[in-house]
Amino acid sequence: MSAQTSTVAAGRDLHWIEDHAALLDDPHRLQQVRDNIAAGDIYIARRQFAPEFLEELREYLTGVGRGSLPNYVPIEAGAPNFHRMNRNDSRAYVPGCFHQFVFFPWNQDPFDLFTVCASIYHMKNCLSGLPPGSFLGARPQDGCTARLAFQVYPRGGGFLNRHADPVDYHQLTVPIMQMSRKGTDFHAGGLFVAMADGRDLLIDDVAEPGDVIYFNAACPHGVAPIDPDAPLRWTTFAGRWMLLFAVNRLAANTAIGNAVRVG
């Protein structure tokens, strides 16, 4: 079985993908999953990445974050990988407070991230009705590119306001990988997604590090403040970590210019 329904209260809204590779090879099941996500259901694929790999990534990015200045770079063809802070920036398209590390497919990186993450992008593209390898090339495609964004919501109040992301030809879902464990890395707050019946599903209460979550980007979602009573110390990089598997339009192709986009 490639995907299995689980129970959340009385809903049919949360499903577990037991075999990610098998689902990718099953067009009939993919169509069912696509329809369910379009209708507002949420799917979680367990343990797509090993805890040791996540630890290595966090350690590397923490070193980069501490050892170099954060700066924003627009999403343009050939843009460098970069990291930046958003400390409740009034220019942001969605108010938030987090540190972000961004990678593009045309740059090389020590982990070969776009190869390591290929199966997740293939699933994202298939769920959007696109060829699996879309947007992963060294040049933008149809004015869009894949973009990996690690987001660190710091203890002491990291957050992202409730919002919806654009659903268009380039994507139905923006998969998220969990990289932290609630109860260990932080205690209060976390990712929520509104389900079809209007309730919020608290993803951090059900998903573990390495799990990948697929949901309709048009469903309102956000990050409730992370340990708001703790002191905010950016350079510790302590808090809630996640990885977004994004596809973005290039800055020149968006009305808002992507100047300070957050997703």
Tell me if 222 contacts Fe ion by CB under 5 A. no
Q: How far is the CB of 30 from Fe ion (least distance, A)?
A: 23
Return d(Cα 247, Cα 124) in angstroms, integer: 10
The single-letter code of the amino acid at 206 is: V
Site stretch for Fe ion (CB under 5 A), options 164-172, 205-213, 223-231, 250-258: 164-172
Site stretch for Fe ion (CB under 5 A), options 8-16, 165-173, 182-190, 230-238: 165-173
Judged by beta carbon, residue 17 or residue 193, the one nearer Fe ion is 193
Return d(Cα 77, Cα 141) in angstroms, integer: 10
Number of amino acids touching Fe ion (CB under 5 A): 2
Residue 192 in tokens: 């929520």
Tell me if 165 contacts Fe ion by CB under 5 A. yes
Judged by beta carbon, residue 56 or residue 168, the one nearer Fe ion is 168
Q: How far is the CB of 92 from Fe ion (least distance, A)?
A: 12
Q: How far is the CB of 116 from Fe ion (least distance, A)?
A: 22
Judged by beta carbon, residue 189 or residue 263, the one nearer Fe ion is 263
Helix (H) or strand (E) holding 38: helix 27-38
Helix (H, G, I), strand (E, B) or coil at 85: strand
Q: How far is the CB of 164 from Fe ion (least distance, A)?
A: 7
C-beta atoms surrounding 27 within 10 Å: 8
Q: How far is the CB of 166 from Fe ion (least distance, A)?
A: 10
- Among residues 53, 146, 134, 72, the alpha carbon closest in space to that of 107 is found at 146
- Among residues 177, 175, 104, the alpha carbon closest in space to that of 137 is found at 104
- Among residues 8, 33, 7, 11, the alpha carbon closest in space to that of 20 is found at 33
Return d(Cα 152, Cα 5) in angstroms, integer: 30
Tell me if 263 contacts Fe ion by CB under 5 A. yes
Judged by beta carbon, residue 117 or residue 219, the one nearer Fe ion is 219
Q: How far is the CB of 241 from Fe ion (least distance, A)?
A: 16
List residues near Fe ion by CB under 5 A: 165, 263
